[in-house]
Amino acid sequence: MQPIPDYGLSVAEQLRAMTEAGTLQPDRYQFDVAEKLDRILTELKARKPAAKKSALGWMFARSRKPEIPIKGLYVHGSVGRGKTMLMDLFFKLAPVEQKRRAHFHEFMADVHGRIHAHRQKLKAGETKQADPVPPVAAALREEAQLLCFDEFTVTDIADAMILARLFTELFARGCTLVATSNVEPDNLYKDGLNRGLFLPFVDLLKKNVQVSTLDSPTDYRLEKMESLPVYIAPLDDAPKMMDIAWQRVTEGAPEAPVSIQMKGRVIEVSRAANRCARFSFRDLCERPLGASDYLAIAKRFDVVFVENIPHLGPEKRNETKRFIILIDALYDASVRLFASAVAMPEALLTEKKGTEGFEFDRTVSRLFEMRSADYLELHQSKRQNHDGQVT
């Protein structure tokens, strides 16, 4: 989570310098992935800049020879093995202006928003193109030659059904994909509804990326963890302790309801002060909220309280999915989290099976890291309120 120093011109060079400086422990598994990332850097540097395309270039895509994409990389492995750090190094060094790094949920929320906007134009008679995917893919490719996804995962059927068509278009236009994940490609959307319709995307993905495993025996996140009193379990004394923490971070500022405007609807926040918000688990995970809602909350607030997190059994599958996405959004935005729960993170999920079991390993790791000194330092360096005071 610490800023990445500029040590060299390749991922492997930077990794080597960091180990020699004592910042990292030598890890041959990480070096193996670094060399694969450097192969992509070399090919990106060798590629000539593409000529600027017309905004309507998608109309003529079938008459042009498809651009051959640079084969990307899909890195999977257990949590805490350094996948995100390696992506940090790679993305910083990538020698292209048109590059985009995003959490996968954020990217797909953007895709669905663009598809909706195109359909509205079709309905209004502003376009005659009935299929929104080609123009949406063309616009995405104009913005990014290189797409980088942290924690690639597919849990939503709407995402699953569109991925093969979307990435067929993106790869045909020369887009390069680099992604990290906790699961190998063949286990994406495992046990998902109508998974057979999703499998063409798995085949497409494996043709366009090199698949690599990063499974170092060391979990570096837990090794460097320094727990701070921001996760309270069990719930016996939680209300009092959460109240004390709330008073401290808000500096006694009066509470007031806040409304976050979304596309066509509003997220109501009943308890907010300064750039802090206080929710119950029920507020956030027992209502029909999604990735775009959690991203909006993470953008609006620097500190988020989540109270009364229960045990998550099979009967709470939807709530578990929302909780996973919520923690992803808060973590990626360096939001400071205060939470109270019935149990410690590793004991919240009562039955580990299917997609939620894989995904919850990441959630547990992130809940631990969000309590660490490193995470809080990153939060303090990135998040400042409008008066310039660190929250």
How does pLDDT run along the chain (391 residues), one tens digit per residue?
444 444 458 999 999 998 888 878 889 999 999 999 999 999 999 886 654 554 455 454 444 455 567 999 999 988 778 898 899 899 999 999 999 998 888 899 899 999 999 999 999 999 899 999 999 999 999 999 999 998 798 888 889 999 999 999 999 999 999 999 988 999 999 888 899 999 999 999 999 999 999 987 776 655 543 434 689 999 988 998 899 888 888 877 788 898 888 777 889 999 998 789 999 999 999 999 999 999 999 999 999 999 999 999 999 999 999 999 999 999 999 999 999 999 999 999 998 877 777 789 999 999 988 887 778 777 776 654 433 343 4
Q: What is the 3-state secondary structure (H, E, C) of the chain?
A: CCCCCCCCCCHHHHHHHHHHCCCCCCCHHHHHHHHHHHHHHHHHHHCCCCCCCCCCHHHHHHHCCCECCCCEEEEECCCCCCHHHHHHHHHHHCCCCCEEEEEHHHHHHHHHHHHHHHHHHHHCCCCCCCCCHHHHHHHHHHHCCEEEEECCCCCCHHHHHHHHHHHHHHHHECCEEEEEECCCHHHCCCCCCCHHHCHHHHHHHHHHEEEEECCCCCCHHHHHCCCCCCEECCCCCHHHHHHHHHHHHHCCCCCCCEEEEECCEEEEECCEECCEEEEEHHHHHCCCCCHHHHHHHHHHCCEEEEEEECCECHHHHHHHHHHHHHHHHHHHCCCEEEEEECCCHHHCECCCCHHHHHHHHHHHHHHHHCCCHHHHHHHHHHCECCCCCEC
Residue 285 and residue 194 in one domain:
no
Residue 41 and residue 85 in one domain:
yes
Q: Which domain holds residue 328?
A: 225-382
Task: Look up tokens 């019935």; give the residue.
Answer: 342
Distance in angstroms (rounded) separating the CA atoms of residues 20 and 8:
13
Which residues pair with residue 337 across a beta bridge?
304
Residue 194 and residue 326 in one domain:
no
pTM over 0.95: no
End of a domain among 213, 246, 263? Answer: 213
Residue 200 and residue 156 in one domain:
yes
Q: Please indicate, yes or no, if residue 344 is contained in any of the structural domains.
A: yes
Q: Please indicate, yes or no, if residue 390 is contained in any of the structural domains.
A: no
How many residues make up the chain in this entry?
391
Q: Please report, for the domain that includes residue 208, its CATH number.
A: 3.40.50.300
Q: Please indicate, yes or no, if residue 389 is contained in any of the structural domains.
A: no
Residue 35 and residue 177 in one domain:
yes
The candidate with the shortest Cα–Cα distance to 108, out of 185, 193, 167, is 167
Q: Please indicate, yes or no, if residue 355 is contained in any of the structural domains.
A: yes
Residue 203 and residue 263 in one domain:
no
Number of domains within the chain: 2
Q: Please indicate, yes or no, if residue 60 is contained in any of the structural domains.
A: yes
Residue 122 and residue 265 in one domain:
no
Between strands 231-232 and 336-341, the pairing is: parallel
Contact 241, 349 (CB under 8 A): no
The candidate with the shortest Cα–Cα distance to 15, out of 72, 83, 75, 71, is 83
Residue 243 and residue 162 in one domain:
no
The torsion region of residue 29 among left (phi > 0), alpha (psi -120 to 50) and beta comes to alpha
Q: Please indicate, yes or no, if residue 1 is contained in any of the structural domains.
A: no
Q: Please indicate, yes or no, if residue 31 is contained in any of the structural domains.
A: yes
Residue 16 and residue 42 in one domain:
yes
End of a domain among 166, 183, 213? Answer: 213
Q: Please indicate, yes or no, if residue 6 is contained in any of the structural domains.
A: no
Residue 195 and residue 312 in one domain:
no
Residue 175 and residue 242 in one domain:
no
End of a domain among 213, 246, 281? Answer: 213
Residue 156 and residue 292 in one domain:
no
